[in-house]
């Protein structure tokens, strides 16, 4: 499949990915020491929701559009506040016209001492990313293959931080690349935190991916999945997942509250489903 960021900006998969990303960043901010974010497949940085790509699919309406307008219970809204506030900051008029991608979200939550390396090889997306980050000394947009970046920039000198691996799934072997990329990076930086995003279309491919991750022998792997359902003849994306490596110790319990709410708000005709499980590690929690 082809999952170019611009066509799907702000959809349910972005909501899941970015809500979890913001929770992890909130935990990194709790300690005064600097941290670094490495975004291996950063995209353009932010997206015009009325532009050609996002306008063609309109997926954001059933993603961030639904979530922003939903009536949420106080604990859920509190957990989503960093994410929703960041989106609102990019839309000061109140109307959703811009969606911040992961580099923009990260930059909005970073402190003066923190740093971002945002990697994007596709020329047009890199040019847009460079414009997005230009002028902020905390961030660099680098034209480099995301898989190469995992070797080049890990471990960061800060020895604290997060690696976000969010490939476009343009190649048939992208699941294999995810496993190999994590293995390479984790060998160099075993204490780092990682977030791996993947689409759910071929259940057999996802099952094989999960098995391969388990075989890596990494101590803590938390798997999060969200499915929104859809018509039987719908060939679009209906589910996505994240694997959190060395997640913050509170993330599992936070997601136990957050995931049911996201499934309810984003599910189509009551078909929202979610799962949360340790592939390795704290299975007793």
As a whole number of Å, the end-to-end CA separation of the chain is 35
> What are the strands of the beta sheet with 36-39, ordered from one edge?
139-142, 115-119, 36-39, 161-165, 193-199, 239-245, 221-227, 273-280
Instruction: Write out the H or E segment, with its range, that includes residue 276.
Output: strand 273-280
What is the rounded distance in angstroms from the CA atom of residue 166 to the CA atom of residue 183? 15
What is the rounded distance in angstroms from the CA atom of residue 174 to the CA atom of residue 193? 20
Catalytic residue among 48, 166, 173, 234: 166
| Ranges of H-type helices in 143-202 | 146-152, 174-188
The verdict on whether 136 is a catalytic residue reads: no
CA angle in degrees (0–180, nearest 5) for 149-151-154: 90
Q: What are the residue numbers of the active site?
A: 166
């Amino acid at each position: 499949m082809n999952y170019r960021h611009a066509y799907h900006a702000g959809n349910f998969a972005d909501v899941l990915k970015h809500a979890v990303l913001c929770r992890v960043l909130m935990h990194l901010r709790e300690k005064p020491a600097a941290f670094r974010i490495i975004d291996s497949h950063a995209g353009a940085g932010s997206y015009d929701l009325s532009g050609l790509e996002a306008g063609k699919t309109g997926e954001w309406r059933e993603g961030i559009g639904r979530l922003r307008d939903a009536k949420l219970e106080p604990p859920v809204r509190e957990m989503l506040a960093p994410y929703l506030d960041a989106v609102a900051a990019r839309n000061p008029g109140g109307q959703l016209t811009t969606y911040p991608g992961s580099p923009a979200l990260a930059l909005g939550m970073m402190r003066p001492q923190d740093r971002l390396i945002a990697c994007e090889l596709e020329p047009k997306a890199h040019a847009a990313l460079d414009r997005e980050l230009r002028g902020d000394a905390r961030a660099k947009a680098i034209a480099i293959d995301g898989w190469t970046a995992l070797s080049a920039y890990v471990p960061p000198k800060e020895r604290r931080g997060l690696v976000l691996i969010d490939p476009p799934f343009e190649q048939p072997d992208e699941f294999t690349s995810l496993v190999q990329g994590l293995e390479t990076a984790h060998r160099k930086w075993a204490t780092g935190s990682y977030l791996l995003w993947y689409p759910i279309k071929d259940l057999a491919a996802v099952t094989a991916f999960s098995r391969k991750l388990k075989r890596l022998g990494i101590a803590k792997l938390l798997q999060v999945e969200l499915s929104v359902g859809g018509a039987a003849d719908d060939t679009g994306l209906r589910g996505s997942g994240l694997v959190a490596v060395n997640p913050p110790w509170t993330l599992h319990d936070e997601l136990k509250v957050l995931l049911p709410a996201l499934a309810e708000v984003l599910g189509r005709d009551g078909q929202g489903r979610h799962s949360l499980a340790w592939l390795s590690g704290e299975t007793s929690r």
